[in-house]
Amino acid sequence: MSDTSVPDNKAQLGVGMVGYAFMGAAHSQAWRTAGRVFDLPLAPSMRAVCGRNAAAASAAASKLGWDSYETDWRALIARDDIDLVDICTPGDSHAEIAIAALTAGKHVLCEKPLANTVAEAEAMVAAAESARARGVRSMVAFNYRRVPALALARNLVASGRLGIVRHVRAVYLQDWIVDPQFPLVWRLQKEKAGSGALGDIAAHIVDAAQFVLGDRLTGVSAITETFIKERPLPSASSGLSASGGVDTGPVTVDDAALFLGRFAGGAVATFEATRFATGRKNAMRIEINGSQGSLAFDFESMNELSFFDGTDPAETAGFRRILVTEPGHPYLEAWWPPGHLIGYEHTFTHEVRDLIVAIGKGEDPTPSFADGLQVQRVLAAVEASAAGGSGWHPIAHPAP
């Protein structure tokens, strides 16, 4: 297979990716595109994709644009032509793969949430810190940070346009498992996914809220719920078992998570994440209220940011719609003329762009593994609070 990902006359960054499903396809698109859109210090070269099934991995390599494939991630890491390992697997394998890659001197991009437990995330941070001393970089993939409208929201908060931030409201609503007959896939099994809606989508709004505010949560009070306790096993979802019934297994993660939070700077917050919001496909929303203004964002209108300037005269005050497509807005200098919209896939391209720029400059990319650990601590506090009957649960923040 010819390598179409490498522009001429640039040092190459050999990339190997583990996993090739939904996130693998999104990441592959980013690796194919970033070097063709942005002026990067290194040219990403898509060397190999890895999956357990040889036929499926070979097909994924051909479809997604990878030069070759491996069936063992250890063999991928051992290859001399691989400089960076991109981890797009379920959470139960993140720590083992990332630590091995960092120890081998490979840069790492790891999908969120960073791990399935705080202990695993702590081990990953320790490996990242050790590798950092050798010039090896690592980043956790919270792609919503790379939505230009949310990056603009962060800039507005940081510049003081909202004054003192007082309230944060964040929700992430999906409906893809409303049907009780939807099979027991890995995302519904705690040993593989770590948690349900909490880790899958609440992790995104926790990180996005902390990113926009430039602040971190210090405590939560939570409830979680699993609405459908048993689901058909994937092998049984299309037919009956030998006994005449459909084989089922227990759902061991949450279907919904709701929690209150408090930020270090004093703002209070509400978070809601559910995969049972019938009719909502990917409604990720954040509203921030400050002493001098407010911001509101809805990912289903991802090119827009609503902004209320509380210093305007009452006679003309109101939320204004900012179409975030100007070349002066974050990331958009490389894309289309104003008014020509971008989409979900661009967030991953921006992610790859930021990672390669940091590696090229010898700087630490963000969000770091330490940032991922901080989100993991929030998720753990939510679970602890819910298990203890919704009491207030502080979030430990060890000194840097």
**Could you read off the pLDDT of 330-346 as tens digits, one per residue?**
999 999 999 999 999 99
Average pLDDT, stretch 301-329?
97
Report which secondary-structure segment, H or E, holds 273: strand 268-274
Judged against a pLDDT cut of 80, whether residue 243 lies above it is answered with no
Judged against a pLDDT cut of 60, whether residue 294 lies above it is answered with yes
Judged against a pLDDT cut of 70, whether residue 151 lies above it is answered with yes
Judged against a pLDDT cut of 60, whether residue 237 lies above it is answered with no
pLDDT computed for residue 134 by the predictor: 97
Low-confidence winner among 82-91, 212-221, 239-248 (lowest mean pLDDT)? 239-248
pLDDT computed for residue 389 by the predictor: 80
Residue 335 is classified by DSSP as S
* Integer Cα distance of 215 and 268 in angstroms: 12
**pLDDT band, very low/low/confident/very high, at 398 (cuts 50, 70, 90):** low
Judged against a pLDDT cut of 70, whether residue 110 lies above it is answered with yes
Could you tell me if 24 and 17 are in contact, meaning their C-beta atoms sit under 8 angstroms apart? yes
For the chain, residues classed under CATH 3.40.50.720 are 12-144
Rg of the chain in Å (alpha carbons): 22
Residue 71 is classified by DSSP as S
pLDDT computed for residue 9 by the predictor: 77
CATH number for 147-387: choose from 3.40.50.300, 3.30.360.10, 3.40.50.800, 3.90.76.10.
Answer: 3.30.360.10
pTM for the model stands at 0.93
* Integer Cα distance of 384 and 340 in angstroms: 45
User: What is the phi-psi region of residue 65: left when phi exceeds 0, alpha when psi lies from -120 to 50, beta otherwise?
Assistant: left
Judged against a pLDDT cut of 60, whether residue 7 lies above it is answered with no
Judged against a pLDDT cut of 80, whether residue 185 lies above it is answered with yes
Omega within 30 of 0 (cis) for the link into 367? yes
The C-alpha torsion from 61 through 66 and 67 to 73, rounded to 10°, is -80
Q: Which amino acid is at 97?
A: I
**pLDDT band, very low/low/confident/very high, at 138 (cuts 50, 70, 90):** very high
**Contact residues for 347 (Cβ-Cβ < 8 A; gap 6+):** 143, 144, 146, 147
pLDDT computed for residue 2 by the predictor: 40
Could you tell me if 4 and 65 are in contact, meaning their C-beta atoms sit under 8 angstroms apart? yes
pLDDT computed for residue 390 by the predictor: 67
Tokens of 218: 């210090």
* Integer Cα distance of 154 and 211 in angstroms: 7
Could you tell me if 42 and 13 are in contact, meaning their C-beta atoms sit under 8 angstroms apart? yes
pLDDT tens for 190-225 read 999 999 999 999 999 999 999 999 999 999 999 999
The residues with which 49 forms a beta bridge, in sequence order, are 17, 69
Could you tell me if 47 and 68 are in contact, meaning their C-beta atoms sit under 8 angstroms apart? yes
**Of 367, 344, 372, 353, nearest in space to 22 by CA:** 344
Tokens of 140: 């956790």
Q: What does pLDDT average to over the chain? A: 94
Q: Which amino acid is at 120?
A: E
Tokens of 335: 């894309």
pLDDT tens for 352-379 read 999 999 999 999 999 999 999 999 999 9
pLDDT computed for residue 246 by the predictor: 80
Judged against a pLDDT cut of 50, whether residue 186 lies above it is answered with yes
Average pLDDT, stretch 92-116?
98
**Of 315, 302, 267, 284, nearest in space to 162 by CA:** 267
Could you tell me if 44 and 86 are in contact, meaning their C-beta atoms sit under 8 angstroms apart? no
SS3 (DSSP) at 217: strand
Q: Fold for domain 12-144?
A: Rossmann fold (3.40.50)
∠ Cα 139 141 144 (to 5°): 130
For the chain, residues classed under CATH 3.30.360.10 are 147-387
pLDDT computed for residue 399 by the predictor: 53
pLDDT computed for residue 235 by the predictor: 78
